[in-house]
Amino acid sequence: MAASITIFRAKKILTMNPRAPAATHVAVRDGHILGAGDLADLSVWGAHRLDERFADKVLMPGMIEGHCHSMEGSVWQDNYVGYYARRGPDGIERPALRSIEEVVDHLRRVEAEMGEGEDAIIAWGFDPIYFNGPRMTAADLDRVSQRRPVVVVHASFHIINVNSVVLQRANISADTDVMGIMKGADGEPNGELQGMPARFLALGAIGRDHFEEMGKKESLWRFARSAQLAGVTTATDLANALPETTIANLKAVTGDPDYPLRIVPAFLGLSCPAAEGAVKMRALSEQSSDKLRLGLIKLVADGSIQGFTARLKWPGYFNSSANGLWYIDPDRIADTLAVYHEAGLQVHIHTNGDQATETVLDAIEQVLTRLPRPDARFTLQHCQMAHEAHYRRMARLGVCANLFANHLYYWGDQHVEQTMGPERAARMNATGTAKRLGVPFAIHSDAPITPLAPLFTAWCAVNRKTVSGRILGEAERISVEDALSAVTLGAAYTLKLDGELGSIETGKRADFAVLDADPLAVGAEGLKDVPVWGTVLGGRVFPCADIAGGL
């Protein structure tokens, strides 16, 4: 007996299939798409059930977030204190906090609602780059509590502010001679901790290990809810050292039919010697399932632009900051890449600055010359500063780019004024150049760094508008159609999943984003505001309305 067929009727279906870009019906069997068209086109498949619940909705392929982190799931157990309002994985919007005072007041309310114990108060998303004025101090956070540890993690995740309780527990005093412990005019530590040692030991002193948190089942569920609310059906976790407990938890959650997300974790390729990593990931790739894809490798070449740790070519940072940091010895990149490449594994490489991009392209060219393999699909992640010449090389080498379009909005003004200056800021995340030169590209949020919301990311690439309303590089804007393709087929291509995901056509998995409006009809400005009703994953319907309060 043939499995049953469901035909979903929608107001409109954007298929991303160039031969038939629009449809009204899609037929699904066994979690896969039989075809898209009108009812008559699809009835030829035989007996079916007609599902009309999307009759006033617009369907598009389930969106694919090609660069985010499962930390998106763990951060929401803590208090969001960002400058912009942001919706959590429970569907509830957290308010924007526009000053240090508002952050402190918010945390005081949190404190007031907590029990008698001495549990820590942890907050995240704080971004003083938007405040012109004094920095947050331990005295501010002592007003939240003088009894409980209070930690405020910055949006970059590289700086934290703590109260006096944490300073005491971590044994940090005026005498502590450690880099990154900021001190006030009186020589006393002021509660701002930069850099790995101070930050991690302060968190350690209150018993928090964020890598452990990330791999927990509750975190993975919140990650999936966040994705579902945004119309995302496949998301990467870029990257993860993939310890056994995390693998077990990933298998358990994705094995649950109620779990609304396919996950593509990338292995942190520097977390062990490459030869060991290659063996581990070859073996793990055999354990992939339809909702858990193992085998991708990620390497990190440099730091971030707004943190002034990206590696830049001449003339360096606009505000004369020192050049950034290598996270891997530039002379060792080729050898490391070669090990994973030779094992048949695909490698994504984080490069932010143009010097990092160029150095990695040199390494890829060496590796491909030494070990030719068709369609290796090396992908540069972020690749924010790549110059046109780099894109030409990428096109020749078959290298993809996953560009950080959200940066244009959130830090575009800072890039003009502080990091890059006007001309280089205008070429950041050059989607227009990638499109013109035929470099396969995706766009991303890097959630939880910025919100997981591909329609917003698409809006950024289409409008290139900064917070202040400045347009950053008009020539690099792309069309709405191209932006929607970047968050579906484009991202699928970078993950080598374009044969089964990213468009609505025969044979692909029945993954849809269900929208309340047509993103092609709302115009470039309205793209970010298109409401997401829910998703369909492998033919199963996941309404956002089911989430509210359900976490």
Partner 1 sequence: MAAAGPIPLSVIGGFLGAGKTTLLNRLLQGASGIRFAVIVNDFGDLAIDGDLVADHGGDTITFANGCLCCTMGDSLLSTLNDLARRDDPPDHIVVEASGVADPRQIADVAVLHPGLVRDLVLVLVDADTICERARDSRLKETVIHQAEAADMIVLNKCDLASEQHIADARAWAAEQAPRAALLETAHARIAIERLLTLDSGHGIGNGPLRAPAVAHIGHAHDHANQFSSAVVILEAPLDLAALRGVLNDLPPSILRAKGFVSSREDPSRLHLVQLSGRRLRIEPWPVAARAGVVPPRRGRVFVGTPDMPPAAGLTRRLGA
| Positions that interact with partner 1 (CB under 8 A) | 170-172, 175-180, 195-198, 200-201, 204, 209-211, 239, 241, 268-274, 277, 300, 303, 311, 313-314, 322-332, 336, 355, 359
The terminus-to-terminus CA distance of the chain in angstroms comes to 39
Residue of 65, 78, 358, 446 that binds Zn ion (CB under 5 A)? 446
> Which region among 153-161, 242-250, 429-437, 445-453 touches Zn ion (by CB under 5 A)?
445-453
Interhelix angle for 244-255 vs 217-229, to 10°?
Answer: 50
Query: Shortest distance, CB of residue 6 to Zn ion, whole angstroms?
Result: 37
Query: Shortest distance, CB of residue 73 to Zn ion, whole angstroms?
Result: 14
Cβ proximity to partner 1: between 220 and 301 the closer is: 301
Work out what residue 397 binds among partner 1, Zn ion, none; the CB cut-off runs from 5 to 8 Å by kind.
none
Cβ proximity to Zn ion: between 324 and 539 the closer is: 324
Return the exposure string of 27-44: e unless at least 16 CB atoms fall within 10 Å of the residue's CB, then b: bbbeebbbbbbeeeebbe
Work out what residue 172 binds among Zn ion, partner 1, none; the CB cut-off runs from 5 to 8 Å by kind.
partner 1
Query: Shortest distance, CB of residue 494 to Zn ion, whole angstroms?
Result: 14
Work out what residue 446 binds among partner 1, Zn ion, none; the CB cut-off runs from 5 to 8 Å by kind.
Zn ion
Q: What Cα–Cα distance (Å) separates residue 309 from each residue in 169, 243, 327?
A: 30, 28, 10
- 126 forms beta bridges with 154
Distance CA 443, CA 267 (A): 20
Cβ neighbours of residue 434 closer than 8 Å, sequence gap 6 or more: 391, 401, 403, 440, 441
Cβ proximity to Zn ion: between 15 and 352 the closer is: 352
| Helix, strand, coil % in the chain, rounded to nearest 5 | 35, 20, 45
Work out what residue 380 binds among partner 1, Zn ion, none; the CB cut-off runs from 5 to 8 Å by kind.
none
> Which region among 81-89, 400-408, 444-452, 465-473 touches Zn ion (by CB under 5 A)?
444-452
Per DSSP bridges, beta strands 512-515 and 532-537 are antiparallel
What is the Rg, in whole angstroms, of the alpha carbon atoms belonging to the chain? 24
Distance CA 238, CA 72 (A): 11
Amino acid in the structure at residue 497: L
Cβ proximity to Zn ion: between 446 and 498 the closer is: 446
Enter the tokens of residue 460: 């950024």
Minimal CB distance to Zn ion: which residue?
A: 446
Work out what residue 513 binds among Zn ion, partner 1, none; the CB cut-off runs from 5 to 8 Å by kind.
none
Work out what residue 273 binds among Zn ion, partner 1, none; the CB cut-off runs from 5 to 8 Å by kind.
partner 1
Cβ proximity to partner 1: between 172 and 530 the closer is: 172
Cβ proximity to partner 1: between 44 and 211 the closer is: 211
Work out what residue 182 binds among Zn ion, partner 1, none; the CB cut-off runs from 5 to 8 Å by kind.
none
Cβ proximity to Zn ion: between 354 and 446 the closer is: 446
Cβ proximity to Zn ion: between 446 and 511 the closer is: 446
Cβ proximity to Zn ion: between 381 and 488 the closer is: 381
The length of the chain is: 551
Work out what residue 196 binds among partner 1, Zn ion, none; the CB cut-off runs from 5 to 8 Å by kind.
partner 1
Work out what residue 269 binds among Zn ion, partner 1, none; the CB cut-off runs from 5 to 8 Å by kind.
partner 1
Q: What is the dihedral of CA 243, 248, 250, 253, to 10 degrees?
A: -160
Cβ proximity to Zn ion: between 36 and 232 the closer is: 232
Could you tell me which of 396, 348, 400, 339 has the C-alpha nearest to residue 371? Answer: 339
Cβ proximity to partner 1: between 302 and 476 the closer is: 302
Total interface residues for Zn ion by CB under 5 A: 1
Query: Shortest distance, CB of residue 171 to partner 1, whole angstroms?
Result: 7
218 CB neighbour count, 10 Å cutoff: 15
Work out what residue 328 binds among Zn ion, partner 1, none; the CB cut-off runs from 5 to 8 Å by kind.
partner 1
Could you tell me which of 206, 210, 199 has the C-alpha nearest to residue 118? Answer: 206
* Cβ–Cβ < 8 Å for 59, 513: yes
Distance CA 40, CA 360 (A): 52
Query: Shortest distance, CB of residue 46 to partner 1, whole angstroms?
Result: 52
Enter the tokens of residue 439: 């470099």
Query: Shortest distance, CB of residue 207 to partner 1, whole angstroms?
Result: 11
DSSP code per residue over 433-486? HHHHHT--EEE--TTTTS---HHHHHHHHHH-B-TTS-B--GGG---HHHHHHI
Work out what residue 270 binds among partner 1, Zn ion, none; the CB cut-off runs from 5 to 8 Å by kind.
partner 1
Binding mask 395-434 for Zn ion (x = CB under 5 A): ----------------------------------------
DSSP code per residue over 275-314? HHHHHHHHHHHTT-BTTB---EEEEE-B--TTTT-S---T
Query: Shortest distance, CB of residue 398 to partner 1, whole angstroms?
Result: 25
In the complex, the residues that contact Zn ion under the rule CB under 5 A are: 446
